[in-house]
Structure 1
């Protein structure tokens, strides 16, 4: 299946990613943590109306604006409508979300792609909306790469939605909030004027890594949180999937490239769920926690090689299961305990994490460096057992280097769903994975 990736542009992207990773291999110097460039928040993204947000229905349009797609100050020949809408954060509070709608190149379309970005940041100013509006911050640049990745759909006349999935406070890794923002962003895009989207449009979900968090949670939550959106969904394609964060913590512990995601997730989850984990942190852990408050993923990867949970926490909490708030929170993020989606799914996952400095785990098996292949297999099998059509593919590559091989397969699969073809399934060939049991509190 790896050989099916034929695009020269995608292979060039893979080579570029490998070149970046070469600087992060054992023996190489870790990149310096870049100080975030100051940015004046754009007032458009804040809701300042007199009516309480809670009085609006989820997905209600609060304001819109039209602008050209701007790449670091350079306007491009793509027209965008940005929408501020009412959504729901991780704690159930009414907040203002934002999505950017890249309009179809001509006329009106009945085909819409909701693309969930892997911008992965603890700074709201790094969302794709900011990049599209002209931000020059390095943490916001992922959106431009991702627009190129979705160019196939644009050239075929689709509209592309790019929601700021982490919400207005950048609640990194808070999966249910990602899903709610995604679903309300679709509601808002379907209701907003001047988008070039037909009232009868169908929607496909797609995302990788952090975008897969949003894609899977949106799929899971749609039947209950947004049944009106669920009826329009044709399918969900995702890759590099986070299933059970408590297990991922053990997988990346002490790794070369991905260890810094541990404290990054502590910041994001603490913020999203409104809990304080700092009393459990060591002096070193508190220092790392403080310096990551607005960090993008680019300032984390490879910067904390070999970092362990034990170094982040006080000795009494070397086992995370001894932190009650942590146990309660990560168990809410376990997709294995949530309902099965009702739309067909394409799921891709790498197994070559050693390429990014993460060894296979004796307990958890292989992964792509940050996500665990056995957990993804189990989730796919769980969906299959419930009768959902699932295509699951594994690639003998890492998190970054799997992208060029996952992407063309995901695009082809999703395009077939829009064409009305029956969703295929390879459920019978998916190997067993890991138990998706919740974390048990330690006594």
Structure 2
């Protein structure tokens, strides 16, 4: 399902099922002031290489997929020192773009890109400088939309920049993943829980290995994200004990969480933010290639997929507002009919989506649950969320409470977009308390 990307215009704006504006018209206004997308160098795939010892790789090398990845997850494969022009506040720091080793949902080695930033000011807290492993919200499927490109680029994802700035201002290092599938010729594995979790946990592993970072491999780690990023960080919390048990995770903060993708899909289909449903279908198909996808598409669907793969947030919202999934298949499949279709491995679309549901099989450390969460979590949402149904956000929190996991909870007055910004200081303060070893609040 690979398409050759034509030169497009990058969206100038914010991101996610969370990075929405109050109206599609407002997003269209953002498009009107967009800047040209950076060209994604095709490059020639290179063989796997040993861990980077210097950070002088050309920019194209960060986004070129190796022929093979043989290094252990969390190994830095390539890095480049950069200036994060889109992080507000003028915070003195040293930052790098990185490519690092990870694994996909089937355990296959892959490479992922991201950003590591360390404040210049000395850490004055207890122990070594903590690391916030951050997953951005939805940015779009176009390769130019990768978070590392935006942070160091010519246009700004304002709210994500605020998150990074707040963490750095608090003295924390930041390891921000782009998420799986932003290297040349790939498709972002949007809303695939295991892929997202591995990418986030592995950039936390990689951060201390960046030459010159000065970070301690035993540093305490916080997991953070909102909307798509909130699902990623909560999946990372669920898989940390089994996938990266050596990480000293102190807590997870996840907001605007799309905990049940079927519930979210029913709400998005035919609505103002239907483009996120299209991105989800493309992302899950990329993550689970045994599922039927290309063979189902009509000409309209094929064009829509190619277009979605070239767009960032605002373009996705504007281009697909009001569209229904039934319009894109030769048989006019409804969501329920699509869920019944099985792939070559026998699993159906519905079963794969159910496997992404958060809060299933969770429990505290020592509980014997499938996903033991050995640290507290902070979940939050907006009272006026118009993108993610509040019922699924509430249900995820309730599942954690029923499982006996220490869970702080807060609602904010904003809609989906504003809530992320409203919660920044609370999230950073919550992390500061966890790193300081203070007792965690429990609102269950």
TM normalised by structure 1 equals: 0.77
Residue 435 of structure 2 corresponds to residue 401 of structure 1? no
In the alignment, what sits opposite 1:431?
none
Q: Is the 8 A contact 2:92 2:119 kept in 1?
A: no
In the alignment, what sits opposite 2:168?
154
The separation in 1 between residues aligned to 2:194 and 2:315, in whole angstroms, is: 25
In the alignment, what sits opposite 2:270?
254
In the alignment, what sits opposite 1:166?
180
In the alignment, what sits opposite 2:105?
90
Q: CA RMSD in A?
A: 3.2
Q: How far has the Cα of 1:195 moved from its partner?
A: 0.7
The separation in 2 between residues aligned to 1:18 and 1:181, in whole angstroms, is: 21
Closer, same or farther: CA 61–313 of 1 in aligned 2, 3 Å: same
In the alignment, what sits opposite 1:69?
84
In the alignment, what sits opposite 2:380?
348
Where in structure 2 are the equivalents of 1:36-51 lying within 5 Å? Answer: 37=37, 39-41=39-41, 42-46=59-63
The separation in 1 between residues aligned to 2:352 and 2:74, in whole angstroms, is: 26
Closer, same or farther: CA 22–297 of 1 in aligned 2, 3 Å: closer
Count residues in correspondence. 384
Q: How far has the Cα of 1:303 moved from its partner?
A: 3.0
Q: Counterpart of 2:191 in 1: which secondary structure?
A: coil
Residue 118 of structure 2 corresponds to residue 118 of structure 1? no
Residue 322 of structure 2 corresponds to residue 290 of structure 1? no
Q: How far has the Cα of 1:412 moved from its partner?
A: 2.1
The separation in 2 between residues aligned to 1:342 and 1:174, in whole angstroms, is: 23
Closer, same or farther: CA 19–121 of 1 in aligned 2, 3 Å: closer
Q: Counterpart of 2:274 in 1: which secondary structure?
A: coil
Q: How far has the Cα of 1:299 moved from its partner?
A: 1.0
The separation in 2 between residues aligned to 1:273 and 1:68, in whole angstroms, is: 36
Where in structure 2 are the equivalents of 1:12-31 lying within 5 Å? Answer: 20-22=21-23, 24=25
The separation in 2 between residues aligned to 1:89 and 1:280, in whole angstroms, is: 25
The separation in 1 between residues aligned to 2:161 and 2:60, in whole angstroms, is: 24
In the alignment, what sits opposite 1:379?
396
The separation in 1 between residues aligned to 2:294 and 2:325, in whole angstroms, is: 13
Structure 1: stretches of 5+ with no match in the other structure? 1-12, 353-367, 428-443
Structure 2: stretches of 5+ with no match in the other structure? 1-13, 42-58, 343-347, 364-372
TM normalised by structure 2 equals: 0.77
Q: Counterpart of 2:362 in 1: which secondary structure?
A: coil
In the alignment, what sits opposite 1:418?
435
Q: Is the 8 A contact 1:69 1:76 kept in 2?
A: no
Structure with the larger helix share: 1
Q: How far has the Cα of 1:206 moved from its partner?
A: 1.3
Q: How far has the Cα of 1:126 moved from its partner?
A: 2.2
